[in-house]
Amino acid sequence: MRVAIAGGGLAGLSCAKYLVDLGHQPIVLERSDVLGGLVAAWQDEDGDWLETGLHAFFGAYRNMNQLMAELNISDRLQWKQHALVFNQPEKPGTLSRFDVPDIPAPFNVIVSILRNNDMLTWEQKIRFAIGLLPAIVRGQKYVEAMDKYSLLDWLRLQGVDEKVNTDIFIAASKALTFINPDEVSATVPLTALNRFLQERYGSKIAFLDGAPPERLCQPIVEYVVRHGGEVHTAAPLRQIAVRGDGTVDRFVVGGLHGQSGYDVTADAYVSAMSVDAFKHLMPEPWREVPLFQKLQGLEGVPVINVQVWFDAKLPTIDQLLFSRSDILSVYADMSVTTRDYEDADRSMLELVIAPAEQWIGRPDGEIIEATLSELTKLFPEHLPDKVKVRKAKVLKTPRSVYRATPGRQACRPSQATPIPNFFLSGSYTMQEFLGSMEGAVLSGKLTAQAIAKSRSLPHTQVAMGAAAT
Ligand SMILES: Cc1cc2nc3c(=O)[nH]c(=O)nc-3n(C[C@H](O)[C@H](O)[C@H](O)COP(=O)(O)OP(=O)(O)OC[C@H]3O[C@@H](n4cnc5c(N)ncnc54)[C@H](O)[C@@H]3O)c2cc1C
């Protein structure tokens, strides 16, 4: 079967990979010149990579790890020491570590919490553990049911001390979803926590060894093309043309720089665009269909990535750091964490600003100034006097992953839709992970499976190769 896929982010590329494994022919159409969507990156005039976002991989990312193993690129993940590390704003320049020992889950995570005495008292730890019990005992079903509460409300209902929220969950919530615990659905951090408590290496963090378009997307493209698929950049979907019965007739694509658009016809069609982009292009007759109607409840959340190049080394570590700053979320010294960005003499910090509502409309200069002012609190002995800024860049994403507020789970659509030859893919679609790289890869795989299973499509080829599981 020929399958046209609009969107060359991780979901679209993963969908194409698993479609060729099933013996089909995907045609990926990406709007931008660069593949990757929210993991896209570009080289600037100096040859430095500018990334859409700082990306951390986790041991719990089963599908991402499997995809990389199937592509023979698992060695591109640089695994860090098993620990979660937080800045301590109350003691500027110091870090607090949750070191996870190499013993079976959930004892490894529990021991790491019990051993950390910087951030929580024993009483707070015990109340926190008791509060978590229903999530551990009753599992994902309980976690899903908590989508009616914000994380902050849920913590209060469980009698968890307010300090657990301010010290740990603000940082975790900002890192996972780019919003604060009073806004985020309890389901999201509880899902992540459950993974970490169930899998021995679930909370272990890795960094890709370079820029995602080169080091992650390109091997997927090569695989897809080698197996008969096509991947086109600068190929924006302009219109989903439908027939009288509501099924897709063709994708109208292109039309850049005054050139006219062209048609792409296929046996099945996939939107692997962000939910915001899809809503914009949704054909009028579909707007009454309940599955598409509920997409009105989903929209991308703003986030900002800042990269700062310094003229000397800062005292950083080879890890993702939770800043616990009002403005900043996580950050890392990429000159240490990431092989292709290595620099023995100068640091390059990559930082995420979240929540970003207040910042997304402001000029880059103001954002850089605010970032540096926060950094002087994290590195008081080095900034601003001893170590100087060489260059700073800001990359704004006004609509990134879906805003994971309470009630959103019910809005997330399945990959198969009521339109027999049309499917959805993307980390916002229903899958057990959040708006994450893992969620994107899993959604792509689920979309490929839904297409392969569909009875209303012309199955012209017998499934072959490594079947998607
Ligand atoms: C700052 C930041 C930090 C992040 N950190 C992490 C992290 O540490 N760990 C993690 O797991 N996840 C992280 N994420 C989230 C992760 O990047 C996303 O969940 C994932 O990449 C989404 O992939 P996707 O394919 O579903 O969507 P997208 O990446 O949004 O892909 C959609 C694609 O569709 C294309 N498109 C849109 N309109 C059209 C059109 N008309 N025609 C053709 N193509 C179109 C877009 O250009 C894009 O390439 C982060 C995201 C950001 C922004």
- Per-residue pLDDT of the chain (469 residues), as tens digits, is 999 999 999 999 999 999 999 999 999 999 999 999 999 999 999 999 999 999 999 999 999 999 999 999 999 999 999 999 999 988 888 999 999 999 999 899 889 988 888 888 888 888 888 888 888 888 889 999 999 999 999 999 998 888 888 888 899 999 999 999 999 999 999 999 888 888 999 999 999 999 999 999 999 999 999 999 999 999 999 999 999 999 999 999 998 777 788 999 999 999 999 999 999 999 999 999 999 999 999 999 999 999 999 999 999 999 999 999 999 999 999 999 999 999 999 999 999 999 999 999 999 999 999 999 999 999 999 999 999 999 999 999 999 999 999 999 999 999 999 999 999 999 999 998 889 999 999 999 999 999 999 988 886 443 333 333 3
Give strand ranges (E) for 205-340.
Answer: 205-208, 230-232, 237-242, 248-254, 261-264, 268-271, 303-310, 321-322, 328-333
Question: Does some domain include residue 223?
Answer: yes
Question: Does some domain include residue 50?
Answer: no
Question: For residue 177, how far is its CA from the centre of ligand 1 (angstroms)?
Answer: 13
Question: Does some domain include residue 61?
Answer: no
Question: Does some domain include residue 272?
Answer: yes
* AA letter at 18: Y
Pocket test for ligand 1, best of 238, 273, 438 (most atoms within 8 A of CB): 273
Q: 193 and 108, same structural domain?
A: yes
Q: 284 and 167, same structural domain?
A: no
Q: 313 and 293, same structural domain?
A: no
Q: 188 and 248, same structural domain?
A: no
CATH of the domain at 258: 3.50.50.60
Please state whether 93 falls in left (phi above 0), alpha (psi between -120 and 50) or beta.
left
* Residue 111: domain span: 97-201
**Distance between CA atoms of 50 and 41, rounded to whole angstroms?**
5
Pocket test for ligand 1, best of 28, 270, 274, 429 (most atoms within 8 A of CB): 274
Owner of token pair 């694509």:
253
Q: Say if ligand 1 is within 6 A of residue 304 CB.
A: no
155, two tokens = 């913590």
Q: 347 and 284, same structural domain?
A: no
Q: 161 and 117, same structural domain?
A: yes
Exposed, middle or buried: residue 280 (CB in 10 Å: 0-12, 13-18, 19+)? exposed
Question: Does some domain include residue 91?
Answer: no
Domains in the chain: how many in total?
3
Question: For residue 35, how far is its CA from the centre of ligand 1 (angstroms)?
Answer: 10
State the virtual CA torsion across 251, 257, 259, 263 in degrees, nearest 10: -10
Question: For residue 273, how far is its CA from the centre of ligand 1 (angstroms)?
Answer: 8
Q: 291 and 353, same structural domain?
A: no
Question: Does some domain include residue 458?
Answer: no
Q: Which of 367, 397, 427 is the last residue of a domain?
A: 397
Query: What pLDDT is attached to residue 463?
Result: 39
**Distance between CA atoms of 151 and 147, rounded to whole angstroms?**
9
Q: 289 and 219, same structural domain?
A: yes
**Which DSSP symbol is given to 300?**
B
Q: 417 and 431, same structural domain?
A: yes
Q: Say if ligand 1 is within 6 A of residue 274 CB.
A: yes
Question: Does some domain include residue 123?
Answer: yes
Query: What pLDDT is attached to residue 131?
Result: 84
Question: Does some domain include residue 466?
Answer: no
Atom of ligand 1 nearest to the CA of 54: 3
Q: 219 and 196, same structural domain?
A: no
| Residue 136 and residue 231 in contact, taking contact as beta carbons nearer than 8 Å | no
Q: Which of 201, 234, 257 is the last residue of a domain?
A: 201
Q: 374 and 318, same structural domain?
A: yes
Q: 186 and 103, same structural domain?
A: yes
Pocket test for ligand 1, best of 29, 54, 55, 174 (most atoms within 8 A of CB): 55
Question: Side-chain half-sphere of 90: how many Cα atoms within 13 Å?
Answer: 5
Query: What pLDDT is attached to residue 380?
Result: 93
